[in-house]
Amino acid sequence: MTDPSAFTLSDEERRLFLEETSEHLTVLEEGLLKMERQGADAGLLAEVFRSAHSVKGAAGIAGITAMEQLAHQLENLLDQIRSGARPVTPGAVDAMLQAVDCLRRMTDALDQGLPLPEPPAGVLEALRAGGDQAPGDGGGPEATAAPAGALPQDLPEGWTHLVRVHIDEASPLPAARALQAFLEAQRHARILWSDPPEDALETGQGDRSLVLAVEASDAGVLERALRSVPEVVGVQVEARPSAVDQGAGRAPAAAAPAGTTAGPAAEAADAAQPAGAPAVDRSVRVDVSLLDELMNLVGELVVDRGQLDDIAEILRAERHSHEVAARLTRVTERIGRVTAALQSTVLRARMLPVERIFSKFPRLVRDVSRQLGKKVELIITGEDTELDRRVLQQIGDPLMHLIRNALDHGLETPEERQQAGKPPVGRLHLSAHHANNRVIITVADDGRGIDARRVVAKAVDRGLVSPQRAQELTETEIYQLLFMPGFSTAESVSNLSGRGVGLDVVRRNIEGLGGQVSVQSAPGQGTTFSLSLPLTLATIRALLVEAGGQVVALPLDAVTEAVRVRADQIETLRQQPVVQVRGHVVPLYALETYLNPSAARRGATLGDDIIVVLVPLGSRYVGIVVDRIVGDREIVVKGLGKALGQIQGLTGATILGDGTVAVIIDPAAVVAALRAEAAGAAVRTGAARAV
């Protein structure tokens, strides 16, 4: 273990190091998984090599030797692959992914101020062996060196390291810098051979690369000394190549992957930025707390704008105040335009692509499917779809639950799929897209599907529904049973859990974000879980309604319309008030009953003309009965305390124009709660209820 206090990093330097290293490790992991699936093309290899090189360089500058050494071995193996000296094998990818995991654990420890773990010897040996050969079988430490160009057959004996030095492409005197590097290496090692030779360097000959065969007792000291030379952009100090490399040199250039240039110059190009005009950096790192503070200030402007609107309405109602009201209205409109523009800009700054979350799942799918002995193709679409960072941060665990369940109990083994007439490789499709100011994320598999009869039988067996009620359940209602706490159709418990285990957490977390979860399934064809999420949790467009003397906010994208219903249109079906709206039978639920449970005990009736807010629920509609429609407004969402935050249906609160507080409710969750109450289910704070 390495004590983090030994590093000479300031707090700001540590933060930048952790952020940049984390980004490079993500690029490495994604690139390695692509490499395993589609082969190692030159562009992909260059990308992952640069990331490994950057991690090694940053760790070296920070003085984190263990991380530098591990990244160096990873870089060596990638170099051998891109030169054609080693193929891309599952073992090689395994070894490199294990190295990425180790590097990530090191950065996590540094972030938490904990001692840094040393890289496991097994991982280092696997990297040296290329993942497929045990040390001593020709793939040991000697195999880590793969010279960039063919070495002469008359190299002197005794040399221990091969050194490659790369000079900046922008250097006006590259030969002079190469000579300076040669002389610096001479101070720390015995130089036995060089390309270009010493006499050529002294006469000004040479290019932007220098290769040395040296006898060195401390490779680390030598590398740091060479890096101190001005305009040196890359240094590699590698252990002595094997006898095969010494005698015959490297494989012909034609053996290298298409588009790969052999030699030190290629490494210099890969280590540096691509040639061409410098890219303009159009992004900056901003502390999330600053964005939150800015969003709060914008929220205050929105509230003030609403108050000005209310004042203008009052003045318009007063006699002889029309001119003042008109002037105030013009000012309000200008403030509204500025506030809207500022709000839109801040929201865009808070938006991140779902790729930030999706990028974690290829590795999960790879590891879990191999553990289960299944062949799975993961298809990801819509990864550029953007979500508010607060929403994005909270959907990772729900998506992980859904993906693990799909892999464990949704998709079949290759043998089962072939017996069912399916291809042996199962498909798992993760997608995201915008729809009606919301983001829809789906997890779909082409597996065995959900057995509805088995779900019902298990629910009856556990006493979750009565046998009589079970006969009346629709397909949508049956699938909702999966979201009850602890419900599972799995016969045995595995470390991955059965379909249904954790789904109550999925629904609770998604509904806590103001979202909804729906399920579609077909036996033998597969299952699709859909998450409907708000674009942002900061501000929303809401329909303000009043019920039982309380004004509440319903997210506008969660309702369809509001209609007035006469008393003689209300019917009763199985003790449930319903009304027909354009051919749809819509069950009715009084919002006052949700806000004030004692209203139900008093026997609140729907005997008068009523206003019904239609809410889509699956393929059907339900109606929420309210006393009056206040209007639609843009509102600022405020969080709830721990106590209120555990009440099903409440998703937040907002401050209205007159300064009063109104709760924000999720209509679908409110209907679920009222249905459970109507069915006589016990009320459990924060628990998911069966529909």
> What's the pLDDT at 319?
64
**How high is the pLDDT of residue 253?**
29
501 closest CA partner among 525, 517, 485: 485
Least confident span in 165-179, 338-352, 676-690: 676-690
**Strongest mean pLDDT among 280-284, 348-352, 454-458, 669-673:** 454-458
Question: Is the pLDDT higher at 45 or at 9?
Answer: 45
pLDDT of residue 249: 34
- The confidence score (pLDDT) of residue 245 equals 39
Return the pLDDT at 414.
94
Give the model's pLDDT for residue 375.
92
Residue 270: what pLDDT? 38
pLDDT at 526 over 80: yes
pLDDT greater at residue 213 or residue 599: 213
- Say yes or no: 641 and 585 in one domain: yes
Compute the average pLDDT of residues 98-125: 85
pTM above 0.75, yes or no: no
User: Mean pLDDT in the chain?
Assistant: 76
Over range 594-621, report the average pLDDT.
71
Of 475, 505, 485, 476, whose CA–CA distance to 404 is shortest?
A: 505
Number of structural domains, the chain? Answer: 5
pLDDT at 148 (0 to 100): 36
Least confident of 520-529, 573-582, 638-647: 638-647
Which whole number is the average pLDDT over 271-279?
36
Radius of gyration of the chain (CA): 33
DSSP 683: P
pLDDT at site 15? 81
pLDDT band at 112 (very low <50, low <70, confident <90, very high): confident
The answer to whether the CB of 254 falls within 8 A of the CB of 39 is no
**Does one domain contain both 295 and 343?**
yes
Q: How far apart, in whole angstroms, are the C-alpha atoms of residue 8 and residue 460?
A: 63
The confidence band for 213, taking pLDDT boundaries of 50, 70 and 90, is confident
Question: Tell me: the pLDDT tens digits for 338-349?
Answer: 777 777 777 777
Same domain, 507 and 550: no
Percent of the chain with pLDDT over 70: 77
| CATH code for the domain of 671 | 2.40.50.180
pLDDT band, very low/low/confident/very high, at 428 (cuts 50, 70, 90):
very high
Residue 689, in any domain of the structure = no
The confidence score (pLDDT) of residue 381 equals 94
Query: With bands split at pLDDT 50, 70 and 90, how would you rate the model's confidence at 483?
Result: confident
Question: Which pair of structure tokens corresponds to residue 29?
Answer: 């992991």
Residue of higher predicted confidence among 579 and 435 = 579
Query: Is residue 281 one of the residues assigned to a domain?
Result: no
Inside any domain, residue 86: yes
Query: For 427-438, what is the mean pLDDT?
Result: 88
Whether residue 169 has pLDDT greater than 90: no
Same domain membership, residue 432 and residue 376:
yes
Position 417 confidence tier, pLDDT thresholds 50, 70, 90:
very high
Q: Which of 112-121, 218-227, 255-264, 674-683 has the lowest mean pLDDT?
A: 255-264
Backbone angles phi, psi at 408, to 5 degrees: -75, -50
Which structural domain range is residue 63 located in? Answer: 1-144
Task: Confirm if 558 and 543 have CB atoms less than 8 A apart.
Answer: no
pLDDT of residue 611: 92
pLDDT over 70 (residue 685): no
User: In the predicted model, is pLDDT for residue 265 greater than 50?
Assistant: no
pLDDT, one tens digit per residue, over 277-331 is 333 344 555 666 666 777 777 777 777 777 777 777 777 777 667 777 777 777 7
Mean pLDDT for the stretch of residues 239-243: 55
pLDDT at position 135 over 60: no
- Does residue 10 register a pLDDT over 70? yes
| Of 583, 681, 577, residue with least CA distance to 625 | 577
* Same domain assignment for residues 376 and 366: yes
One domain, residues 545 and 665: yes
Structure confidence at residue 378 (pLDDT): 93
pLDDT category, 646, cuts 50, 70, 90?
Answer: low
Identify the DSSP state of 413. Answer: P
Of 499, 534, 569, the residue that ends a domain is 534
Lowest mean pLDDT among 131-145, 202-216, 296-310, 316-330: 131-145
Asked if pLDDT for residue 6 goes beyond 70, the answer is no
pLDDT of residue 175: 79
Q: How confident is the model over 63-88, as pLDDT tens digits?
A: 888 888 899 989 989 988 888 888 88
Which positions ≥6 away from 186 have C-beta within 8 Å? none
Q: Are residues 39 and 102 in the same domain?
A: yes
3-state helix/strand/coil string of 474-530: CHHHHHHHHHCCCCCCCCCCCCCCCCCCCHHHHHHHHHHCCCEEEEEEECCCEEEEE
Among the three residues 519, 534, 549, which one is the final residue of a domain in this structure? Answer: 534
**pLDDT band, residue 604 (cuts 50/70/90):** very low
Which class for 360: exposed (0-12), middle (13-18), buried (19 or more C-beta within 10 A)?
Answer: middle
Is residue 530, in this structure, part of any structural domain at all? yes
CATH number of the domain to which 196 belongs = 3.30.70.1110
Structure confidence at residue 416 (pLDDT): 94
Amino acid at residue number 51? S
- 272 falls within a domain: no
- Give tens-digit pLDDT for 57-67: 888 888 888 88
Q: What is the pLDDT of residue 687?
A: 32
Based on the domain organization, do 48 and 168 belong to the same domain?
no
Residue at a domain's end among 144, 159, 192: 144
Q: Who wins on pLDDT, 501 or 321? A: 321
Find all residues with CB under 8 Å of 58, minimum gap 6, and list them: 17, 20, 21, 24
> Do 312 and 234 share a structural domain?
no
The answer as to whether 280 is a domain residue is: no
Task: Tell whether 179 is covered by a domain.
Answer: yes
Does the pLDDT of residue 250 top 70, yes or no? no
117 and 162 part of one domain: no
- Check pLDDT > 60 for residue 602: no
Which one of 144-153, 584-593, 611-620 scores highest in mean pLDDT? 584-593
Residue 256 lies in a domain: no
Sequence-distant (6+) residues with CB within 8 A of 371 are none
**CATH number for the domain harbouring residue 394:** 3.30.565.10
Assigned token pair, 509: 């977390």
Q: Which positions ≥6 away from 222 have C-beta within 8 Å?
A: 161, 163, 185, 188, 189, 214, 216, 237
Q: Are residues 124 and 178 in the same domain?
A: no
Same domain membership, residue 358 and residue 307? no
Q: What is the CATH number of the domain that holds 60?
A: 1.20.120.160
